[in-house]
Amino acid sequence: MTRLLERSGLGEETCLPPAHHYIPPYRNMEASRAEVELVVFSAIDDLLAKTKVSPEDIDILIVNCSLFAPVPSFTDMIIHRYKMRKDIRHVHLSGMGCSAGLISVGLARNFLQVAPRGARALVVSTETITPNYYVGKERAMLLPNCLFRMGGAAALLSTSRAGARFRLARVVRTLTGAQDSAYRCVFQEEDAEGHRGINLSKDLMTIAGDALKANITAIGPLVLPASEQLLFAVSFIARRVLSNRRVKPYLPDFRTAFEHFCIHAGGRAVIDELQRSLGLSDEDVEASRMALHRFGNTSSSSVWYELAYIEAKGRMRKGDRVWMIGFGSGFKCNSAAWECIAPAKSVEGPWKESICRYPVDIPEVLKH
């Protein structure tokens, strides 16, 4: 565990739930619900205060949390807490992994497309780690203990431009779950001693790379300028049609389509692989590395922490385009493309107290 932590890329300020501060950790329903209420209600309270929107004005509620699905559901808990309307449309997504946040965004978009003008959708992304601490000895199942931390985010989507800060341009989802290796590469199971945990396959990076290629193929024609698409087409024709294997596959420069990148902070190896695969600079992946260092792997909400980092550093400008990339069990790679309408006017949110210290140098092995 110590060696894994030293190489994880996580800093000293990440947060574990109170239940994990005990030896052994306790993982009962009461503690799990307490974590949900702390994270989710705090995120929603902050969002409602910033937007000055009443809970009664929310028409759609979508929550995603993969590994904890209590009865009543997360959406029921939120509706009860905030006394929302009886006719609100609500969905709780579970079991869909770290990319579920972008699935929720896509689902909210679909709901809004058939809703009356001015409808509002509240999207909440989180992961409850209290009941999912692995207490066994399998190395592949210990890794999530080292990476996952408390975190959550809430976002408000609407068909009205008034007060909006970003415009959702695209949501592209790809799934490679038909392949056995992809289906099982992130798998919840019990070890030989009956301890439940998440098994991360040694082939995870290869599978993530294949899923990314599929997603790039789908989103590229939708966002890349004509010049990049032409170069890619020429390379494809030379290799496939003319059978000229000496021509290297052309990697499109996605920096011509986006100014900012929010890559799921799944771990140092995930960020390294995506930086290499997409040909990105250190500055392009800075938000992902710093979010991992400061908050750990917060699952589906990590891309929102990264967006908040970019804004807190004052780098977001009107018209800037943002690419969010999420990976999750199944195996899924999902993308969302955003355009900035109105940059944040002040540093608020999770980085308020620490942005002045970032970026920091993250050594290969952290010394304690």
> What's the first-to-final CA gap in the chain, in angstroms?
14
Inside any domain, residue 53:
yes
CA–CA dist 269, 299 (Å, integer):
15
Radius of gyration of the chain (CA): 21
Q: What is the token pair recorded at 327?
A: 């990976």
**CATH at residue 262:** 3.40.47.10
212 and 285 inside one domain: yes
Stronger pLDDT, 347 or 57, i.e. the higher one: 57
pLDDT at 241 over 70: no
Confidence band, pLDDT 50/70/90 cuts, at residue 323? very high
Residue closest to 88 by CA, chosen among 108, 68, 65, 66:
108
pLDDT of residue 243: 65
Overall average pLDDT of the 42-57 stretch: 97
Tell me which residue range forms the domain holding 312.
Answer: 166-342
List, for residues 280-321, the tens digit of each pLDDT value. 999 999 999 999 999 999 999 999 999 999 999 999 999 999
52 and 175 inside one domain: no
CA–CA dist 247, 144 (Å, integer):
40
Stronger pLDDT, 363 or 47, i.e. the higher one: 47
Inside any domain, residue 348:
no
| Identity of residue 216 | I
List, for residues 195-212, the tens digit of each pLDDT value. 999 999 999 999 999 999
| Identity of residue 221 | P
pLDDT of residue 8: 85
pLDDT at 213 over 80: yes
List, for residues 333-352, the tens digit of each pLDDT value. 999 999 999 998 887 889 99
117 and 16 inside one domain: yes
Inside any domain, residue 23:
yes
pTM: 0.94
Least confident of 29-43, 76-90, 222-236, 305-319: 222-236
131 and 193 inside one domain: no
pLDDT of residue 2: 75
151 and 186 inside one domain: no
Domain count, the chain: 2
Domain boundary among 158, 192, 215: 158
171 and 124 inside one domain: no
CA–CA dist 277, 5 (Å, integer):
25
138 and 101 inside one domain: yes
CA dist list (Å): 314 to 258, 347, 350, 364: 17, 8, 15, 28
Confidence band, pLDDT 50/70/90 cuts, at residue 226? very high
pLDDT of residue 143: 92
Domain boundary among 138, 158, 178: 158
62 and 116 inside one domain: yes
pLDDT of residue 363: 83
Inside any domain, residue 137:
yes
pLDDT of residue 346: 81
